[in-house]
Chain A
Amino acid sequence: MKRKHKRLSFVGLALLLIAAAAALVLNAYEESIVFFHSPTDIIEKKVSSDRRLRLGGLVEEDSVQKKADAVVVFNVTDLSNSVSVRYRGILPDLFREGQGVVAEGIFKDGVFQADEVLAKHDETYMPPEVADALKKSGKWDAMGEEMKRQGHTPKDSK
């Protein structure tokens, strides 16, 4: 074997090993790499109530209630489960019903007490006229699209 072939196989082998190591590490730490948990994750895994975490999903339609003293109560859903969230503060501009959000806080008495709410933008880019045209023609299914993207298929109710 010529020296450059030796070097080639050495570099190739080293890259494979590094990739395998990276895959194992990332797999093992998946829990800490994910930025937020869906309502289904939280309900099924019975997350302990004293742990701070981030909850992500869509703001459920017709669930936003503005209360006194800048308090907002709304539901975050992944279309199979939903969690009630209470937040006091200024909401981001993109916050609206049907929009993706990530809330950070802790559970208290079955309600998620958020102290930070971030809007999650989706990957659809279009001019307002196109959005209006889609809505008129009934092809607007942003919510379904959003869920498909997040890898959740709405489950049948148990």
Chain B
Amino acid sequence: MLHRFANPTRFLRLADIIQPWMAWATVLLMGAGLYMGLVVAPADYQQGESVRIMYVHVPSSWMALFCYTGMAISAAVGLIWKHPLADLIAKSTAPIGASFAFLSLLTGSLWGKPMWGTYWVWDARLTSMLVLLFLYLGYMALIEAFDDPTRGTRASSILVLVGVVNVPIIKFSVDWWNTLHQPSSVLKMSGPSIDASMLWPLLLMALAFTTYYLWVMLIRVRAEVAANRIRNLRFRQARGQGED
């Protein structure tokens, strides 16, 4: 099954079908989610209107973790089974995941000032999330740092796999240590401690962020495949000229 779609041509054919659906789903879900979150959903009993930052902050944080986990799995598949498509998916996911991590830190900071009284503290949750952003940026820098793309891919895949220990640390930081950041409201054993009128817009936004990721990732993978083909053509052309 996996091997079937590891073929770039077959993957691109599938991507052609999925991509417009993801684009439309993103537009509709994001529109509905923003309307529900910014207009329909009530203000919070303590945070007031500032609670609306959550509808962007929480989905970005989830997606930053989701993208990193996806990257780590793709990198592992690329390292172990040598599927070039897996490497391309990892490479294409990195800038999207980095943007989510940045958005999460930015919106969290803007929420922190009125709520906590500070833009930033070095508690376990905030610090580990910043480390995640640096892992993304480090991966993006490392993969481009070699003349030979296969070496860059290898080195950066190892970096992603080493950094994957940070994912559970981010998720459980609020349970393992005293932090200023509040614990999880949705994904916890005792069920969500968030009112249904706020949970639904949040889930819509999370779904919209997911389809957005799939949409942009497919565009990027397509561009990477095209770039690889151009590189191979040029290489062959240069070799052909050398033989003359």
Contact = CB atoms under 8 A, between A and B. Distances in A.
Interface of A: 4, 7-8, 11, 14-15, 18-19, 22, 26, 30, 33-38, 56, 91-94, 102, 116-132, 149-150
A123 B165 contact: no
A102 B116 CA distance: 9
Contact of B116 (A119, A122, A130, A132): A119
Given A33-B124, A125-B44, A14 B80 contact: no
Contact of B51 (A34, A125, A132): A125
Nearest to B202: A125
A123 B184 contact: yes
A93 B177 CA distance: 25
Nearest to A91: B117
Nearest to B116: A118
Contact of A92 (B82, B115, B195, B197): B115
Contacts of B79: 7, 11
Most chain B CB within a 10 A radius of its CB, from A8, A124, A126: A126
Contacts of B43: 127-128
B54 interface: yes
Contacts of B176: 26
Contacts of A33: 124, 177
Nearest to A142: B46
